[in-house]
Copies of this chain bind each other. A is one copy, B any other.
Amino acid sequence: MMTNINIEQANQKAIDEFMNARPILVGVEKAVDVIPGMHKNLYLHAGPPCSWERMSGPVKGGMIGAIIFEGRAKNAEEAESILSSGKIEFAPCNDYDASGPMAGIISPSMMVFVVEDKNSGYKTFSGMNEGRGKVLRMGAYSEEVIERMLWLNNVLAPTVDAALKAMNGLDIRTLLAKALHMGDDGHNRLDAASLLFTNLLAPHIIRTAKNSTDAADVVKFLGENALAVLNPVMAGCKTMANAAQNIEGSTIVTLMARNGTDWGIKVSGMGNQWFTAPAPVVKALYFPGFTEKDACLDIGDSVIMETVGIGGFAMATAPALVTFIGGTPRDAINTTLDMYEITYGEHKNFTIPFLDFRGTPTGIDIRKVIEKGITPRVNTGVAHKDPGIGQVGAGVVSAPMKLFEDALVAFAEKYDI
């Protein structure tokens, strides 16, 4: 009985921490300079821990691209020989307070968005967003991919950093709250959030850029990239999730992440322990010329959005998203309604106009997942299974039940229930 009461209190505290966190995007810095523990031979990736041998195609492709980007190899063969030599250390972004979309590669010289929690001062990180098409995060590493990464690092990053400093930071939670009233789910559809982001930055970019060519190029790139704000939003959601970590007795999920091989979750009351299961196939709409045969298994850290109550959980805000990921507007509403079944509370800052401004379902409770037999539903992009290709579609996927079963068994053991 005593134990039960503590779980409820702990869970309420966990979702309060999600909701009270105040992520502010404060700048763009070099990963090795700003991520605690980062060093020249450490390469981060999405999802739970994974050896080179077990890595999915997109993560391998992203690693190859990163080694070339770092100037340590001229081509894929050279890169692979370094990557498989044992000289390079691989680790999850999430174990370094970072969050990376799809393959989620962060290498030491990459510039990363820095988000600071206004309450605690705690920092979280995410890389630059490359837009859609042939991109490193989908496992592509051709010359055009590396060239764009270099432009992002050398031009976009310092330009945006100067603007962010001039405007004294950008409030990610406020931006998301607005975007959810503008047809975004906050994960796969960030059209409105990216426009808001660009519009807030633009006057400061104009005033602080080295020259008007850089200013125009950066504003154009951000304005045309419907995912321009994806990475800052991921770092922002990581801030929220971090705030709810390590609450004794809480059954709330504080992390979900996949790497194209495994899914992993963490649970607040279970500290830093990963629970993992094989990554599932995504039910997707494929781009012309591709089918499910080409698809990598589920991949990416962007499921941090669903962890804190947006993305698939807020799909009722984003009926137009179905044109990209499949299904009908009714499915979108039903997805949100289902997620109320497995969450502990409703978000006080993120609301859904069409459900009479009801708060989004927030805080996945592993007890409810098991009890209801419903696992978290996620919107996601789909990468090609082979390195070097890129995105092939987008769709929806449900987390494997095994994650929650294992976590609940471990929880019961730890707390002697």
- Chain A residues with CB under 8 Å of chain B are 181-184, 191-192, 195-196, 198-200, 202-204, 206-207, 212, 215-217, 219-220, 223, 319-320, 322, 328-330, 353-357
Contact of A212 among B206, B329, B356, B357 (CB under 8 A): B206
Q: Which residues of B contact A207 (CB under 8 A)?
A: 212, 216
Contact B195 A219 (CB under 8 A): no
Taking each of A183, A212, A319, A354, which has the highest tally of chain B beta carbons within 10 Å of its own beta carbon?
A: A183
Q: Known: A353-B329, A356-B329. Contact between A219 and B206, CB under 8 A?
A: yes
> How many copies of the polypeptide does the oligomer hold?
2
Cα(A330)–Cα(B354), bound, Å: 8
Majority SS of interface residues in chain A? helix
Taking each of A328, A330, A354, A357, which has the highest tally of chain B beta carbons within 10 Å of its own beta carbon?
A: A354
- A357 to chain B: closest CB distance in Å? 8
- A322 to chain B: closest CB distance in Å? 8
13 chain-A/chain-B pairs, Cβ below 8 angstroms: A182-B192, A183-B183, A195-B195, A199-B199, A199-B202, A199-B219, A202-B202, A203-B223, A204-B216, A206-B215, A206-B216, A212-B212, A329-B353
Q: Which residues of B contact A203 (CB under 8 A)?
A: 216-217, 219-220, 223
Q: Which residues of B contact A202 (CB under 8 A)?
A: 198-199, 202, 219-220, 223
- A197 to chain B: closest CB distance in Å? 10
Cα(A153)–Cα(B353), bound, Å: 38
- A364 to chain B: closest CB distance in Å? 26
